[in-house]
Amino acid sequence: MASHSESIIREPLITGKDITYAKITNDVLRPVENMPGKAWWIGFTVASLGACLWVFAVSYTFWYGIGSWGLNKTVGWAWDITGFVWWVGIGHAGTLISAILLLFRQNWRNSINRSAEAMTIFAVICAATYVVSHMGRPWMAYWPLPLPNQFGSLWVNFNSPLVWDVFAISTYFSVSLVFWYTGLLPDLATIRDRATGIRRKIYSVLSFGWTGSVKTWQRFETVCLILAGISTPLVLSVHTIVSMDFATSLEPGWHTTIFPPYFVAGAIFSGFAMVQTLLLVTRKVLGLENYITMFHIEAMNKIILLTGSIVGVAYLTEFFIAYYSGGEYEQYTFLNRFIGPYWWAGCMMYGCNVLMTQLMWFKKIRTNIPASWVLSIVVNIGMWFERFVIIVVSLHRDYLTSSWAMFYPTWVDVSIFIGSIGLFFTMFLLFIRVLPSIAMAEVKLILKSSSEQAKKKLIEHGHLDGEQVEFYKESLTKFDSVEITDYQKA
Amino acid sequence: MSSTKYILGLFEDPDELMHGIDTLQKNSVPIYDVYTPMPIHGIEKKLGIKDSRLGYAAFMFGCLGGTTIFSMAYYMLVQDWPMNIGGKPAFAIPDFVPITFEWTVLFTAFGMVATFFYATHLFPGRTPRVMDYRATDDRFVIAIDAKGNIPHDDITNLLKQAGAVEVKHNDRKYVSYE
C-alpha cells in the first residue's frame, strides 16, 4: 500500500521539498510540453549531422558493395561486427533495469527504466543496421527467415548460431518495444489529458484510450510482471547467442566456452556505462536531479564495478585456459594481443575495462559526477576495443603465416560507426522531446514511501532509533540535491 | 430530477482514497469505478475485482510459440530436407533449443499483450473515456453512478468527510467527448 513507510536507513529515492504528484508530472513533462532549449538544438543538430553521415555511408556501401570497406581475405569481419556487438551489448542495460531489477523489487529502477529502455531500443536499431549493411545486398535480408522458397524449399539451417541470432535479436527488439510501449501508455494518457488541440489528438491515438481504471491497472501490473519474467532469460539468451556466433567456430581466440557469461557480463557493463553517460547529462539539462539522484548514480556505478570485475575474471580465465590448454595457436593468439602489432588495442581493452573500473571502489569517485561521466565514456571505449580485439586481432594472424594481414578501416567504415552514434543520439534526443523520459506513474508510486520529504517527516515525528537517524543523515551528505543544513537543526 | 449522471470524489492522497472507498461501502453506496494516476494495491480487493487471468493466456501463448517453431524446425530439417552435416543426426534437438526458447518468449509477449489490449479495449485511436482529466495526473477519483443513488447530497457529504478535496456532479459520463 502507498502509505507503507520504509526503513529510515534506506537512502531516499526522490529528494527535494514539497514534491507532490502534480509536481512530478510538471517536472517530467517540462521538456515535452515546452519548446526545447538551446542545448537541445545544438545537440540535435550535431547528432542529426551524424545521422546524415550514416545515411550517406550506408548508401555508399549498398551502391559500391562491401568492397568499400577495409576488409580483406584474412580479416573478413571487422568494424561492422564490432559495432554490431557493441550496440547490442549497450542495449542490454535497459532490459536489465526494466526487467531484472523489477523482479528483484529494486525501486530505484523506477526513475531510470524509461530512458534506459528507450536506449535499448535505439541501440538495437543501430546494431541491426550493421547486420543489414554487412549483407551487402539488403534486398535479400529475408533469406535467413524460414520461408518457403524456389530452391526446392531449401530451408534455413537451424543448427547455425547465425540463424539463432536472427531469432534472438528480432525477438529481443520486438519484445523490448512491446514492454516499453505498454509501460508508456499511462504516461501518454497523462500528456493527452493535459494537452489541447492537435497535440491532444496525437497523444490520444498514441495512448490507446488509457483511463487508469482499477481493472486496467491490475492487468497492466500483471502484464509488466510477466514481461519482466520472460525478458530476464531473454536478455541473457541474446548475448549468449551473440557470443556463440564466435564461440562455435574453431578460430583461436573465439573458440571459448566461457564466452556466453563473459559476453553477458560485458554487455551489462557497457550498457550501464551508456546509461550513465546519457543520464548524467539528461538529469542536468532537464533538471531532473530530484528524481535521478546521487543514489541512482552510485548504484549504477556499483553495477559497473561488479560487472567490470566479472569481465576481468573472464579475461583472466581466458588467459589461464589458453596457457593450460597447451595449444600453441591458442597461446599465440593471446600473446599476440600484447606483443603483436595490435598491442595498443589490447592495452585499451584491458586498461579501460579492468584497470580503470577498479577506481569505482572509492566512494569519492563513485559519487563524483564528472569522474563518473568520464569513467562511463572510458568503459564504452574499452568495450568497443574488447570486441575489436576479439574479432580483428584474433583473425588477422591465422594458421598460415603467409596470409597474415592488418586491417585498415576506410572512410566508409569510420563514417558508418560515427554515423551510428549520431543516429542513436538523434533518436534519443527526439525521445526526450516527445515522450516522458521518466516513468511518472512509477515514480509517483514510491513518493510516499521512499522520498526524502517522507523520511524527514518520520524523523520530525520522533519515535525513531537515534543511531539509525544519524546513519541516514550521514548517507545524505553525498547527495547533490539535498539541503543538508535542514537536517542540522532538526 | 437532477441531471447529474456521475458523482466524482477527487482525492489527492491514495490513503484518503482508500478511506473514501471504505466510507462509501460502509454506507452501502455502490462504486462504479476508481481512476488513479498510478496502480494502488488493495483497491481491487476492496472492490471485489477478481485476479487477472492474463497469466494463463501468457502460458498458453508460450506453449503455442514453442510448439510452433519446434515443429517447423522438425519439418524443415528432418522431414522435408534432411542435410548431411558430417554424418550427424538431422534431428539435432539441442540445436533447436535456442529458437524454441526465442519463439516461446516472442509468442508469450505478443499474445499476452494483445490479450490485455483486447480485454481492456485498448487500441490506437480509441476515444479515451475520461471522467476527470486530472485522474491521470494527481487526482485519485472515485466515480459513483448517480442513477438510483440518492440523495446526492449525502454522497457528497460522505466523500467530503472521507477527505475528498473536490466533489463533482457531472452531467456527462465522459468529459473527453467533444
Note the pLDDT tens digit of each residue in A372-390.
999 999 999 999 999 999 9
> What is the nearest CA distance from B159 to chain A, expressed in angstroms?
19
| pLDDT score recorded for residue A2 | 45
Residue A33: list chain B partners with CB under 8 A: none
Residue A101's pLDDT band, with cuts at 50, 70 and 90, is: confident
- Look at residue A237 and tell me if it is in a domain: yes
| pLDDT score recorded for residue A3 | 52
CB contact under 8 A, A190 and B72: no
Residue A277's pLDDT band, with cuts at 50, 70 and 90, is: very high
Residue A1's pLDDT band, with cuts at 50, 70 and 90, is: very low
> What is the nearest CA distance from B29 to chain A, expressed in angstroms?
18
Average pLDDT, chain A: 89
Tens digits of residue pLDDT in A418-457? 999 999 999 999 999 999 989 988 888 888 888 888 888 8
- Look at residue A2 and tell me if it is in a domain: no
- Percentage of residues in chain B with pLDDT exceeding 70? 97
> What is the nearest CA distance from B138 to chain A, expressed in angstroms?
5
Q: Cβ contacts of residue B168 below 8 Å, gap of 6+?
A: B7, B8, B10, B132
Answer with the residue of higher pLDDT: A476 or B101. B101
CB contact under 8 A, B109 and A222: no
- Look at residue A54 and tell me if it is in a domain: yes
Indicate the residue of A223, A226, A444 with minimum beta-carbon distance to B37: A444
B97 part of contact set with chain A, CB < 8 Å: no
- Look at residue A304 and tell me if it is in a domain: yes
The answer to which of A211-220, A274-283, A337-346, B157-166 has the lowest mean pLDDT is B157-166
Report the candidate in B138, B34, B54 with the shortest Cα–Cα distance to residue A221. Answer: B54
A265 part of contact set with chain B, CB < 8 Å: no
Answer with the residue of higher pLDDT: A375 or A7. A375
- Look at residue A9 and tell me if it is in a domain: no
Indicate the residue of A194, A223, A441 with minimum beta-carbon distance to B113: A223
CB contact under 8 A, A209 and B129: yes
Beta carbons within 10 angstroms of residue B52's beta carbon: 20
Domains: count for chain A: 1
Q: What is the pTM of this model?
A: 0.91
- Look at residue A412 and tell me if it is in a domain: yes
Residue ranges of domains in chain B, CATH in brackets: 6-50+131-170 (3.30.70), 54-120 (no CATH)
Q: Cβ contacts of residue B82 below 8 Å, gap of 6+?
A: B90
Task: Record the cell numbers describing residue A308, joined without a space.
Answer: 567490470
Over residues A66-71, the mean pLDDT reads 90
* Distance in angstroms (rounded) separating the CA atoms of residues A462 and A409: 66
* Distance in angstroms (rounded) separating the CA atoms of residues A49 and B150: 65
Element at B8 (helix H, strand E): strand B6-11
User: Chain B window 65-84: which residues touch A at a Cβ cutoff of 8 Å?
Assistant: 72-73, 76-77, 80-81, 83
- The CATH number of the domain holding residue A305 is 1.20.1630.10
Q: How far, CA to CA in Å, does A155 sit from each of A461, B69, B85, B154? A: 71, 13, 14, 72
- Look at residue A387 and tell me if it is in a domain: yes
Is the ipTM here above 0.85?
yes
What angle in degrees, to the nearest 10, is found between the helix axes of A294-325 and A369-388?
30
Answer with the residue of higher pLDDT: A1 or B167. B167
Burial label for B55, CB within 10 Å (0-12, 13-18, 19+), is middle
Residue-range definition of the domain harbouring residue A199? 21-145+155-455+465-489
How many beta-carbon pairs below 8 A join chains A and B? 202
Answer with the residue of higher pLDDT: A120 or A7. A120
Q: Which residue of A has its CA nearest to B69?
A: A146
